Amino acid sequence: MSPTERVVPTLGYGAANVGNLFRQLSDDEAWAVLDAAWESGVRYYDTAPHYGLGLSERRLGAFLQTKPREEFFVSTKAGRLLRPNPAFDGGLDTDHDFFVPNDLRREWDFSEAGIRASLAESHERLGLDRIDLVYLHDPERHDLDLAVASAFPALERLRSEGAVDAIGIGSMTSHALARAVRAADLDMIMVAGRYTLLEQPAAEEVLPACRARGAGVVAASVFNSGLLAQAEPTRDGRYEYGGVPDEVWDRLQRIVAVCRAHDVPLPAAAIQFPLRDAAVRSVVLGSSRPAQVRQNAQLAALAIPEDFWAELAHEGLIPA
């Protein structure tokens, strides 16, 4: 894992939004978002076939082809193949929150042939000769046992052949992440929403397993569905796939109070918190607006006093 630990940049851009997540972007608008990330110093870019049925990979690849290959790190994902949708009737992929034509459909495939096909097709869409890291994407949503028996060994063979530099798992489910780390020889895991300023279930099993196995961690969804993206959260905000539970809101208000007392912007604390654990190598942030991308990069670099973190720990809001 040591080569990947050295080269994966601390701040990454999650490219689901340039695959038209939640709203449609033109090619020019998507390019402006990616350009804002690059100009802000972002050098890690994460994508997936799932994001916009390949649109994210195509747009990201077109952008990165204009940059020196040695200057950026790129990851994509495997496990879902994109195949023609025989039921296509001109509709959109809004069942998955992507505003793209649903002329393709996702087909789970954890076989070795399927994993190899996924990597080859991602290469084609990205137009890049090298992909640094491939995650198995949400395997618990299909068949975690099959992932352990087939998909991870296939990724390990691809890595040993030099087809990809590093392999891992991306998931928002702690038990799947912990099991994968223990069962496979993974370089990196992407923890989505399970190790954030607001909640840290991954601290119980996932991070200790990563330390024991030498796997690095990329923290994603650190704003908890947007709750932590504003200095003053609103009660009608979204949490996961619904409203904000009372106990979550109460905990968030305690965190906000500490932020106010130390004059620390809540989004800055949310971005920087995961990186305080030595296992976490990078934080990946997504946005569909160039101004937000630039602001996120500034917040990531903001100096936060150590006594702020000490008070959060004293209040039991983050691990000591």
**DSSP calls for 125-166:** HHT-S--SEEEEE-GGGT-HHHIIIIIHHHHHHHHHTTS-SE
Between helices 27-39 and 55-64, what is the axis angle to 10°? 50
Question: Which residue has tokens 């990563």?
Answer: 210
Contact 287, 17 (CB under 8 A): yes
Contacts of 80 (CB under 8 A, 6+ apart): 49, 50, 106, 107, 108, 109, 118, 137
Q: Which residues pair with 44 in a beta bridge?
A: 12, 73
Task: Please provide the size of the chain in residues.
Answer: 320
Annotated catalytic, 135? no
Give me the catalytic one of 13, 44, 45, 51: 51
Q: Structure tokens of 141?
A: 């949503």
Q: Structure tokens of 197?
A: 């300023």
Active site residues: 51
